[in-house]
């Protein structure tokens, strides 16, 4: 037939499936045939995931082991299992979860979407099923795996049990944090001669913990490595980090190798500023030097006593333990004030120079 220019022609095509003449999708099918013959969404009967026996971590397809809230788990499982027809557009997916038992949850999924010009809705049903496993971190943990050892040591004196407990609180908080690296666990810990050793699953954990200790208590650290093998052409190493707690703070009294007493005026970045107890002398000591001194009295054991009488070189005061008058040499910085700081070293009272911080004022 000859169709001249300018003449309008109405094209009418029947549905490829039922032959009815109405609005068709690009597949040449009418709305009711699309509903009948096109599968908008498919989902397998079950969607598997694994739960770690040792911790709450969950393993899902493509994501490995991790902490996962239930809502995120369902959403991820649906996202990785639900298949929509390639011609579906603007899908809106909703679901309802019904727990069946410990391992199974029924999930009813509703999909609203467009297929060509038609708005359609469909439901599919599936089961989310968990099985028990052991994540990498938990298998390593139960195999006594470790990457690093933190050795807590101290300068000047032994640490008290309460001080160690206090330091361990920080580490326990770190390994209990919800979104931590799963390798952040304590393999072993215990008292050793001169300190406390902690064996952990991760070098990063060890380093961050020691950084925290330094920020909180001061002190220094030193890290060393041991090669324990090779994996994929790389050395596998274990780290040992020695954390040296200062064991001392401003106001403490220390004895050096020549039996001379020093009082800490203040702690510094490199060590401490020290005041000699027996004469007018002030000098800085670095950690290396401080490590050779012994703390003979901590600030909290220092007493402040009233001066009953003073002369050129001595003061009298009442021994706070035995209620007897004691005479001792004046501190070199005596300013004639009402009271003086004293400390009992072995069995003798010693008057102390005042420290910068006046931390001993009670």
Closest separation between CB of residue 18 and Zn ion, Å?
3
285 binds Zn ion (CB under 5 A): no
Cβ neighbours around 51 below 10 Å, total: 19
Burial class of residue 152 (count of CB atoms within 10 Å of its CB; 0-12, 13-18, 19+): buried
From the list 43, 135, 150, 352, which residue makes contact with Zn ion (rule: CB under 5 A)? 135
Residues 55-114 that bind Zn ion (CB under 5 A): 55, 57
User: Which region, left, alpha or beta, applies to residue 269 given φ > 0 means left and ψ of -120 to 50 means alpha?
Assistant: alpha
Window contacting Zn ion (CB under 5 A); options: 33-41, 90-98, 251-259, 316-324: 33-41
d(CA 291, CA 180): 36
- Residue 23 in contact with Zn ion, rule: CB under 5 A: no
Q: Which class for 343: exposed (0-12), middle (13-18), buried (19 or more C-beta within 10 A)?
A: buried
CA–CA separation, 121 and 193 (whole Å):
72
Element (H, E) at 229: strand 220-231
Stretch that binds Zn ion, among 22-30, 151-159, 342-350, 353-361 (CB under 5 A): 22-30
Q: Are 172 and 311 within 8 A, CB to CB?
A: no
Contact by Cβ (8 Å): 247, 295: yes
CB nearer Zn ion, residue 15 or residue 241:
15
In whole angstroms, the minimum distance from the beta carbon of 92 to Zn ion comes to: 25
- Which of 25, 33, 186, 199: binder of Zn ion (CB under 5 A)? 33
Nearer to Zn ion, 103 or 309 (CB): 103
Residue with Cβ nearer Zn ion (140 or 153): 140
Stretch that binds Zn ion, among 28-36, 168-176, 230-238, 313-321 (CB under 5 A): 28-36
Q: Which is nearer to Zn ion, 18 or 67 (CB)?
A: 18
- Report the interface residues with Zn ion, using CB under 5 A: 15, 17-18, 30, 33, 52, 54-55, 57, 135, 138
């Amino acid at each position: 037939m000859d169709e001249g220019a300018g003449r309008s022609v109405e094209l009418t095509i029947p549905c490829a499936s039922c032959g009815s003449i109405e609005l068709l999708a690009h597949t040449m099918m009418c709305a009711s045939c699309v509903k009948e013959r096109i599968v908008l969404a498919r989902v397998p009967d079950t969607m598997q995931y694994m739960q770690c026996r040792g911790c709450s971590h969950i393993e899902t397809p493509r994501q490995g082991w991790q902490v996962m809230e239930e809502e995120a788990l369902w959403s991820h499982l649906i996202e990785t299992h639900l298949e929509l027809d390639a011609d579906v557009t603007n899908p809106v997916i909703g679901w309802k979860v019904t727990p069946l038992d410990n391992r199974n949850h029924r999930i009813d999924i509703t999909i609203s979407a467009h297929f060509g010009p038609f708005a359609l809705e469909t439901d599919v049903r599936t089961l989310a099923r968990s099985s028990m496993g052991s994540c990498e971190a938990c298998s390593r943990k139960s195999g006594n795996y470790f990457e690093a050892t933190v050795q807590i040591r101290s300068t000047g004196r032994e640490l008290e049990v309460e001080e160690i407990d206090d330091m361990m609180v920080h580490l326990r908080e770190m390994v209990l944090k919800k979104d931590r690296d799963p390798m952040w666990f304590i393999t072993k810990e215990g008292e050793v001669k001169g300190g406390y050793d902690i064996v952990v699953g991760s070098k990063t954990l060890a380093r961050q913990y020691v950084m925290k200790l330094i920020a909180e208590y001061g002190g220094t650290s030193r890290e060393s490595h041991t090669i324990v093998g090779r994996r994929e052409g790389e050395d596998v190493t274990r780290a040992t980090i020695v954390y040296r707690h200062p064991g001392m703070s401003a106001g403490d009294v220390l004895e050096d190798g020549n039996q001379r007493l020093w009082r800490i005026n203040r702690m510094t970045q490199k060590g401490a500023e020290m005041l000699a107890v027996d004469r007018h002398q002030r000098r800085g000591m670095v950690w290396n030097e401080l490590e050779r001194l012994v703390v003979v009295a901590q600030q909290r054991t220092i007493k402040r006593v009233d001066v009953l009488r003073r002369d050129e070189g001595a003061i009298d005061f009442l021994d706070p333990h035995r209620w007897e008058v004691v005479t001792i040499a004046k501190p070199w910085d005596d300013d004639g004030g009402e009271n003086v700081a004293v400390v009992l070293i072995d069995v003798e009272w010693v008057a102390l120079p005042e420290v910068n911080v006046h931390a001993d004022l009670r």
